A = this chain, B = another copy of it.
Amino acid sequence: MNISVIGAGTCNDRIYSLAEEVGKLIAQRGGILYTGGLGGVMEAASKGAMETGGTTVGILPGISKKDANPFITIPVTTGLSHARNIIVVRSADAVIAVAGEYGTLSEIAIALKLGKPVIGIDTWDSIEGVIRVNSPEEAVNKAWELSS
């Protein structure tokens, strides 16, 4: 299963912990984690997954793999700036959004446009189509359930 975790490049400790737990649970189930490869939620989820032995793909906006956070095992260097958001979403069987700002909203919208399941924790959950959950466990369960 290929799961993308999306969220802002900076976040507070509570959101970081949530995203880290999401990453851990994805890796425990044997899923491959895709993120935008940078900091904040992307880093937290990658940390949780990598430390659990999982594979973490970072779809980077820039041109150097050095931009990746330290928990990316597979850097993909696009040089496409924000257009790389589309690839993060397209590569996923399901998308989990943790908090997030306008960049995350753009990814949620593209995912819904593409008909992918979008599960949200503390995010733009007023958007119709986002499946609102309250915990990392629930998020990851839903991701597997909806993309099987």
Q: List 29 A-B contacts (CB under 8 A).
A: A32-B74, A34-B76, A55-B55, A55-B73, A55-B74, A57-B76, A74-B74, A76-B76, A76-B87, A77-B87, A77-B90, A78-B90, A79-B80, A79-B81, A79-B82, A80-B81, A80-B87, A81-B81, A81-B86, A82-B86, A82-B110, A86-B86, A102-B109, A102-B113, A102-B129, A103-B109, A105-B127, A109-B109, A126-B126
| Distance between Cα atoms of A126 and B106 in the complex (Å) | 15
Copies of this protein chain in the complex:
4
Min Cβ gap A57→B in Å is 6
Residue in B74, B102, B103, B129 whose beta carbon sits within 8 Å of that of A57 in the complex: B74
Instruction: List B contacts of A102 (CB < 8 A).
Output: 109-110, 112-113, 129
* A95 interface residue per 8 A CB criterion: no
| Pairwise interchain contact A79-B86, C-beta atoms closer than 8 A | yes
B76 touching A59, Cβ below 8 Å: yes
Q: Which single residue of chain B is at the shortest CB-CB distance from A79?
A: B81
Nearest 9 CB-CB pairs, A to B? A106-B109, A105-B109, A102-B113, A79-B81, A77-B90, A102-B112, A83-B86, A83-B83, A106-B110
Pair A90/B109 contact, Cβ less than 8 Å? no
Most-contacted residue by chain B among A57, A109, A126, A129 (CB, 10 A)? A109
Asked if residues A91 and B109 are in contact (CB atoms below 8 Å), the reply is no
| Contact of A2 with B by CB under 8 A | yes
